Structure 1
Amino acid sequence: MNSIVQTAFDSWTPPVATIATLLVTAAIYARGFVRLHRQMPDRFPVWRLASFIAGIVALFIAIASPLEAFDDLLLQIHMTQHLLLMIVAPPLLLAGAPAIALIRGTPSRVAKAVAGPVLRSRAVRRLFAWMTEPLVCWIAFAAATWGWHLPAAFQLALRSDGWHVVEHACFLTTALMFWYPVIQPWPSVARWPRWAMLPYLLLADGQNTILAALFMFSEHLIYPIYATAPRIAGFTPLGDQIVAGAIMWVPGSIFYLVPAALIMFQMLAPQYLSRQSAREADSHRRVAGQLPATR
């Protein structure tokens, strides 16, 4: 094994608290899912459990695996972490419809003592409503993406473990916000019509493509800190930056465009169109019933 790689592995310390948090979260969700699957098998099929666990695994790889030991050596590894945190793990977690399952999986005493008051709080409900407003979600996600990829902020996170945690927490939080209107996990209610998710996703892909292009076509290092990093697998700092941009561009675009295509196909399905027609007809009937008759 390359001495640099071996040194990186040797320097890595498993983040026990993070691993424990992920395992406990997965266990609580699984416990709640089993109960809900028995009561509502149609609403909670097995694929929801698989999706949530896959999201936990993606988080583990991003922030609790030896991958963490290489993010200050290769920019492409750092971008892979960001990809997992921002566009892989969040939609998988949300597809598991985690809210009810996590509450049902939490011991009843804890749920009553903690979750009960929180869910009854008007301030919390207003904050949640604001944080799940699609426009707020999109702006927060884009701001986190561009803000943390500015050279000063990015290199600060590399030099400081504390700021690195803040960076990852910011990415995950805003990504959960961004994907919430797209996935619309049960039992939430959509704020925008379904067709609005198409420009929502396409614009997100556009800003991601612009950022990726800056990495791929820049003639100088965006993050000078990587100029002094040991060479691994023959990558030059500029070559590493190009690969990082490609990782952001190609897989990133796939994760934006595939959901957009699925939403479009869903909207063109006969069942969806018939439901839309029925809703419009019902709306027209209600409006007609409120208007005075004309002669």
Structure 2
Amino acid sequence: MPEALILHVVSGAALWQQWSWNPGTVIPLALAALLYIRGHRALQRARNRSGGRNRQSGLRGLAFVAGWLVLAISLVSPLHALSEQLFSAHMIQHELLMTLAAPLLVLARPNAVFAWALPMRMRRVWMAVRRPSTVQEVRRLLIQVRARAAWLAYALVLWGWHAPALFQWSLRDERVHALQHTCFFVVSLWFWQSTFGSRRTATAGASVLVLFATTIHTSILGALITFDTALWYPAYARTATALGVNPLHDQQLAGLIMWVPGSVPYLIAAVAIMTQWLGRTSSSQDHAPSPVRNIR
């Protein structure tokens, strides 16, 4: 990392005061946190009355808190202000949104907790909609196509928004910038939900393939950004130079961030799914009836 960038981030007192309090960001984050706390308390009271305990509930709660914090850091902290000056900081912000916050929130499975935050009448409507008999056919169809469709949408959104014309537009217009982040986050939730959403063997195998394919195409994009000797986004030339950072070095660092650490979450998820997949296969074989049991 360029020395000038390190000095600016570590010693820049003004930077650490540049928190983003945009209502369009802060209000949804605050509402999500309040709803989750309210729903979690209501759900815990119900479980205490029934005497039930759920260890997974605690782990999912931790996943939600971690995902929420990563989301807040990427959108509210001084990282957001720095992302408007350096492409590398912008890339860190996008990676936090797409490869950390989104999968953590998907693993948290917060829908049930949010439902418990609703008034009883609305909760009954929610549960009626969520009944298998209501959505079974739709879900069966979506399971068949969602992994491939989510992978394609994820790739198109990622590559499309990194096209110089669109990316430069997002740097000039804050509304377009907000749309960019919304697209990244929503498609990432869909992508990770399709990856983690089913435990069926066939779907698990497809999820592993999708994750490896995503690793490949994101690495290609990162490599293209890293090795190109021309600036993809000239808007960063002025702001990076003002900080004493070479704009091309800033671009190379951004590409490396996408290429190397940005690939790690996909690989970790692929290995985790494959390990569970193999474990279930081994367990089912161990419990299979012996072919010689009835031979005398």
Judge conservation of contact 1:33–1:44 (CA < 8 Å) in 2: no
How far the C-alpha of 1:126 sits from its partner, in A, is 4.9
TM-score using structure 2 length: 0.80
Which residue in the other structure is 2:269 paired with? Answer: 259
The aligned amino acid for 1:199 is L
Q: Does 1:268 align with 2:275?
A: no
Deviations 1:58-96 (A, max 9, x none): 111111222211212100111011101111111100111
Q: Does 1:77 align with 2:77?
A: no
Which residue in the other structure is 1:250 paired with? Answer: 260
Which residue in the other structure is 2:183 paired with? Answer: 170
2 CA distance for matches of 1:254 and 1:157? 27
- Cα 1:20–1:130, aligned 2, differ >3 Å: closer, same or farther? same
Which residue in the other structure is 1:231 paired with? Answer: 241
1:62 to 62, 69, 74: 74
* Structure 2 gap segments, 5+ residues each: 1-6, 290-296
| RMSD across aligned positions (CA) | 3.3
Structure 1 stretch 78-87 or stretch 6-15: which is displaced more? 6-15
TM-score using structure 1 length: 0.80
State the SS of the aligned residue for 1:220: coil
The 5 Å alignment of 1:85-234 reads 85-111=97-123, 115=126, 126=138, 130=142, 133-184=146-197, 192-231=202-241, 234=244
- Cα 1:235–1:118, aligned 2, differ >3 Å: closer, same or farther? farther
State the aligned residue count: 275
Which residue in the other structure is 1:291 paired with? Answer: none
2 CA distance for matches of 1:127 and 1:274? 27
Deviations 1:158-206 (A, max 9, x none): 110111111111001110111012222xxx6759431221111000000
Judge conservation of contact 1:5–1:232 (CA < 8 Å) in 2: no
Structure 1 stretch 226-235 or stretch 197-206: which is displaced more? 226-235
Judge conservation of contact 2:19–2:76 (CA < 8 Å) in 1: no
State the SS of the aligned residue for 1:223: coil
Which residue in the other structure is 2:292 paired with? Answer: none
Which residue in the other structure is 1:289 paired with? Answer: none
Quote the sequence identity (%): 34
1 CA distance for matches of 2:17 and 2:101? 27
How far the C-alpha of 1:25 sits from its partner, in A, is 0.8
Structure 1 stretch 249-258 or stretch 29-38: which is displaced more? 29-38
How far the C-alpha of 1:27 sits from its partner, in A, is 2.4
Which residue in the other structure is 1:290 paired with? Answer: none
- Cα 1:129–1:16, aligned 2, differ >3 Å: closer, same or farther? farther
Which residue in the other structure is 2:60 paired with? Answer: 48
How far the C-alpha of 1:265 sits from its partner, in A, is 1.8
- Cα 1:118–1:236, aligned 2, differ >3 Å: closer, same or farther? farther
1 CA distance for matches of 2:188 and 2:285? 30
2 CA distance for matches of 1:240 and 1:173? 27
1:31 to 15, 32, 38: 38
Judge conservation of contact 1:209–1:253 (CA < 8 Å) in 2: yes
State the SS of the aligned residue for 1:215: helix
Judge conservation of contact 2:240–2:247 (CA < 8 Å) in 1: no
State the SS of the aligned residue for 1:55: helix
